[in-house]
Amino acid sequence: FDYLKNDYPSDSSPTSPPAPLGISPLSFAFQAVLEHAVREEDPKSPAKLLELFNFSKEQNVPLSLNSATLLIKLFGRAKMCDESVTVFSELRPDLRNIHVVNLLLDSLLKSGRIDDALKMVDKMLKSQLNVQPNDTTMDTVLSAFFTRNWSGRNVREEEIIGIVSGF
C-alpha cells in the first residue's frame, strides 16, 4: 500500500487514470489482496480477514463495493455480526446498494439481532438508506421470522404485519 500511496500518480496529475466511481486505486489493490486471501486462507479463519480489514482502515484505504460485499458475507457466515456492521459503516453511503444491505440484514437476523434488523428494514421502508427493499429483502426477513427460534425475543404478529404491509 505504501508503494501505491507514494508512487501512484495523484488524482490531480494529468497522467492519472480516472478512478472508476471515484474509488481509490488502493481500494482495488485491497480488494485483490482480500480476494487472494479468501482463496488461500482456511475458510474457518475469518480472523485473518478481520486483520486485513483493520490494516486497510489503518492505511485509510476506502472500501470498494466488492470488498465490502465479500467481507460482510464472510463475517456473516462466521457469526461476526459486529464486524459486518462495521464494514457496512465504513462503506461510502453512495456505494451501498440493495445487495449489500440484504447481506447485512441476513447477518443481523442470523445473529439474532432482531431489533437491529427491524430498524434496518424500517429505514429501508422510509427511504433513509437510499435503497428500496426488493423481493430478496422480503424473503430474507420472512424466512428468518418463520424458521428461527430466538431465545428471549419473539417477533410479534403486529411486527410481521407491519413489515409485510410496508413492502
The model's pLDDT over 102-160, given as tens digits with 9 standing for 90+, comes to: 999 999 998 888 889 889 988 888 888 888 889 999 899 888 877 765 555 666 777 77
Query: What is the value of pTM for the model shown?
Result: 0.75
In the prediction, which pLDDT does 118 show?
86
Q: What is the pLDDT of residues 14-64, one digit of tens each?
A: 444 444 455 666 776 767 776 776 676 565 577 788 888 888 888 888 888
Q: Given pLDDT bands bounded at 50, 70 and 90, which one contains residue 166?
A: confident
Task: Give the burial class of 153: count Cβ atoms within 10 A of its Cβ; 0-12 exposed, 13-18 middle, 19 or more buried.
Answer: exposed
CB-based contacts of 64, cutoff 8 Å, min separation 6: 23, 27, 28, 30, 31, 95
> Which residue would you say has higher pLDDT here, 7 or 37?
37
User: For the residues of 82-138, what is the DSSP string, one character each?
Assistant: HHHHHHHHHS-GGG--HHHHHHHHHHHHHTT-HHHHHHHHHHHHTTSSS----HHHH
CB-based contacts of 123, cutoff 8 Å, min separation 6: 129
